[in-house]
Amino acid sequence: MSRPLFQFKGGVHPPGHKAESNTRPIHAAPLPKKLVIPLRQHIGNPAKPVVSVGDHVRKGQIIGEADGYISTAVHASSSGIVTAVDLQPVPHVSGLADLCVTIETDGRDEWVAREPLDLGAPPAELRMRLRDLGIVGLGGAVFPSAVKLDPGAAQVCPTLIINGGECEPWITCDDVLMRHFADEILQGVAVMRLLLGSSEILIGIEDNKPEAIAAMQAAAAKLDFAVEIVAVPARYPAGGAKQMIETLTGKQVPSGKLSTDIGIQVFNVGTARALARAACHGEPLISRLVTVTGHVLRPQNFEVLIGTPMHTLITLAGERDGNTGVLMGGPMMGVPMPNLDVPVVKATNCVLVKSKELFPPLPKALPCIRCTRCADACPAELQPQELFRFAKAGDFGRAQEYHLFDCIECGCCSYVCPSHIPLVDFYRYAKSEIWAREKDKRASDLARERHEFRQFRIEREKKEKAEKLAAKAQAKRAELAAGADTATPAAADADANAKKALIAAALARAQAKKDEVAPKNIDNLSPDTRHEIEEIEARRAKIRELARQPLESEEKNS
C-alpha cells in the first residue's frame, strides 16, 4: 500500500534543464595550486583560526576550531603551506571580504591520521565529534548537523525525513549523488536514526528522478531497518523542507516553530553522505558535489575540494564567450557572484553560468497592480504583495506582522509577477534591515544594562561603607558603655571627692593670691581714714553684689 501524499499550496513549474548535466559521469576537480578556505561557512559563529602563516598543514587538519555550540570546525582541503590568514572575497552577493585561510598546496595531498567514530559512545560525545569534523547541512542552509541531531528534551525525534527533492532548475548534484552513492547515503541515515531515536524514516524524491529512486530502493532493501522511499510530485519548491514535510505527512510546521516541535527532522541527501564518511572513515567535510552548468561547453557534476576557485570549475566545464554573469545556486534562489576568484564553500551546490540567450534580462519593473498572482503561487501561504508594499515603505513592523520571516525566498512570487518586480529582493532587504536594527537594539540594551549595573554597584558600595561605619560607631559606644558598667560605686565616689578636693585647693590658692595683692600700708592710718576706707570697701562690695544680680529684662526673657 502506497503512502498517501498531500499537496502544499502554491508552487510553480519552471523548465527543469536537468538533462544538461545529469547525463554525464561525476568527475573529480583537479587539485588547485591555491585554496582559499573561509572560516565562516555555516550558520552560527564562524570558526576561530588555529594556524599561522608559514605552518605546514595536512589534508583534513583543523585550521579553524568551532566557536560555541552553534558552530563547526573548518579543515584544510589538502596539504600545503599556509600563506595567509586574512580577509578575502567570499561568495556573497555583497562582495564583502571575510576571514579566510589561504593554503599553497604541495601536490602530495597527504591526509592526517583518521579513524572511524565509535558509534557506541554517548550521543553527546558523538555530536561533538561531528561538530569537530565540520559536518553541516548541504541542502543550502548549512546549519551545523550536530545541533540538528540533538532531539532535545524529548530525547527522541519520531520521524526522520531525508530530502531528495532537488526541485531547483539546472541543479543535479543531489540526483547524481543518489544514483552513485545510495549505500553511503543510507549509512549516514543509520547514524542519524541512532542519534535521533527515529522509528519512521522517509526519503522523499521527486518523480522526475527515476534512476535515483531505483538506486535508493535497491540500497534500502539491504538494510536491517525500514526505510520508505517515496516519489513526490515534481513541482517547485517541493524540495523545501517545510513543503517536503507537508507532502509526506500532511503536517505543517507552525509559524515561528521548528520541525522538531512536531516530531520531525529533515536532512539533505548530501548531508547524509558526508555524515557516513565522517562516521565510517573519520573524514571531515572538505569536499562536495557541485553542478557546473548553464552557458558552458560540458555541463556536469564535479567532486570539488572546498576552497577551489569557481573559475577553475568553469574552465573545466568549458568556458564560452557571451558570459553575462555567474550564480551560486539555481535561477530561483541563487545569488550572483561578485567575481570568479571566490572559492567553493560548503553551501555551493551549483555554479550556473548565465548568458543573454539562456537568461534574458528582465524588462523594467512596473507598478504593482495587486493581481494577487504572487499570493496564489506562494507556498508559505503569505501575502507577497502586502510584504512588498511594507518593505518598500520601510514599514518593517507591519511586514513582521504579515510573517515576513516565514518567507523561504523560493522566488515563486517573482517568477509569476506580471510587473516583473523583484519581490524577493525587497524581502531580503527588509529582513536585513530588521536584523540590523535588532542587533543595534541588543547592543543598546547591553550598554544600558551595564550602566544600570554600575550605578547599582556604586550605591551598594556606598551602603556597605555606611553600614561598616555605623557598626564601628555602635561597637565603640558599646565598649564605652561596658566600661562604665564595670566601674564600682566606691571608685566613683572616690573620683568625685578627689575632684572636690582639687576644686577647693584651687579656690584656696586663688584666695591666697588675692590676699597677697591686697594693700598692706594701712597700719599707721588715723581712725577716720580707716573708717572712710571701710565705707569705700563696703560700697564696692555692694556694687559687686548688684553686678552679680540679673537684669529685669533678662529675667523676663528667661
Annotated binding-site residue? 280: no
Asked if the model's pLDDT at residue 518 lies above 70, the reply is no
Question: Could you give the CA distance from residue 231 to residue 233 in angstroms, rounded to a whole number?
Answer: 7
> Tell me, what's the pLDDT at 55?
96
- Do 137 and 267 meet the contact criterion of CB atoms below 8 Å apart? yes
> Tell me, what's the pLDDT at 90?
93
Q: 74 in the Ramachandran plot: left (φ > 0), alpha (ψ -120 to 50) or beta?
A: beta
> Tell me, what's the pLDDT at 2?
77
Question: Could you give the CA distance from residue 301 to residue 327 in angstroms, rounded to a whole number?
Answer: 16
> Tell me, what's the pLDDT at 537?
85
CA atoms within 13 A on the CB side of 227: 29
> Tell me, what's the pLDDT at 394?
93
Annotated binding-site residue? 350: no
Annotated binding-site residue? 167: no
Q: Tens digits of per-residue pLDDT, 136-147?
A: 999 888 999 999
> Tell me, what's the pLDDT at 500?
84
Confidence bin at 522 (pLDDT 50/70/90): low
> Tell me, what's the pLDDT at 179?
96
Q: Tens digits of per-residue pLDDT, 32-83?
A: 999 999 999 999 999 999 999 999 999 999 999 999 889 999 999 999 999 9
Amino acid code (one letter) for 496: A
Amino acid code (one letter) for 515: D
- Do 301 and 24 meet the contact criterion of CB atoms below 8 Å apart? yes
**Domain regions of the chain by residue span:** 119-323, 362-458
CB-count burial class (<10 Å; 0-12, 13-18, 19+) for 397: exposed
Map grid coordinates 592526517 to a residue: 112
Mapped onto helix, strand or coil, the DSSP state of residue 221 is: coil
> Tell me, what's the pLDDT at 558?
46
Q: Tens digits of per-residue pLDDT, 108-124?
A: 999 999 999 999 999 99
Asked if the model's pLDDT at residue 491 lies above 50, the reply is yes
- Do 50 and 63 meet the contact criterion of CB atoms below 8 Å apart? yes
Question: Could you give the CA distance from residue 483 to residue 490 in angstroms, rounded to a whole number?
Answer: 15
Name the residue among 41, 61, 42, 40 with its Cα closest to residue 50. Answer: 61
Cell representation of residue 371: 493581481
Residues 6 or more apart from 142 whose CB is under 8 A from it? 41, 42, 43, 136, 346, 347
Of 96 and 381, the one with more pLDDT:
381
Alpha helices, DSSP H only, in 404-488?
Answer: 412-416, 423-486
Question: Could you give the CA distance from residue 435 to residue 442 in angstroms, rounded to a whole number?
Answer: 10
Question: Could you give the CA distance from residue 204 to residue 162 in angstroms, rounded to a whole number?
Answer: 6
Q: 506 in the Ramachandran plot: left (φ > 0), alpha (ψ -120 to 50) or beta?
A: alpha
> Tell me, what's the pLDDT at 488?
63
Beta-bridge mates of residue 294 = 353
Confidence bin at 1 (pLDDT 50/70/90): low
Q: Return the CATH architecture of domain 119-323.
A: 3-Layer(aba) Sandwich (3.40)
Asked if the model's pLDDT at residue 457 lies above 50, the reply is yes
> Tell me, what's the pLDDT at 310?
96
Element (H, E) at 547: helix 527-548
Peptide bond into 237 cis (omega under 30): yes
> Tell me, what's the pLDDT at 551?
55
Asked if the model's pLDDT at residue 557 lies above 90, the reply is no
| Mean pLDDT, the chain, integer | 91
Which of 43-47, 154-158, 262-266 has the least mean pLDDT? 154-158
Name the residue among 511, 530, 531 with its Cα closest to residue 521. Answer: 530
Beta-bridge mates of residue 86 = 100
- Do 26 and 289 meet the contact criterion of CB atoms below 8 Å apart? yes
For 229-258, the DSSP string reads: EEEE---BTTTSHHHHHHHHH---PPTT--
Question: What is the torsional sign of CA 405, 406, 407, 408?
Answer: positive
- Strand order from edge to edge, sheet including 48-49: 48-49, 62-65, 74-75
Which of 285-289, 335-339, 470-474, 500-504 has the least mean pLDDT? 500-504
Question: Could you give the CA distance from residue 41 to residue 47 in angstroms, rounded to a whole number?
Answer: 9
Annotated binding-site residue? 412: no
Percentage of the chain exceeding pLDDT 90: 78
Confidence bin at 465 (pLDDT 50/70/90): very high
Of 481 and 130, the one with more pLDDT:
130
CATH of domain 362-458: 1.10.1060
Mapped onto helix, strand or coil, the DSSP state of residue 203 is: strand
Cell representation of residue 286: 572538505
Annotated binding-site residue? 173: no
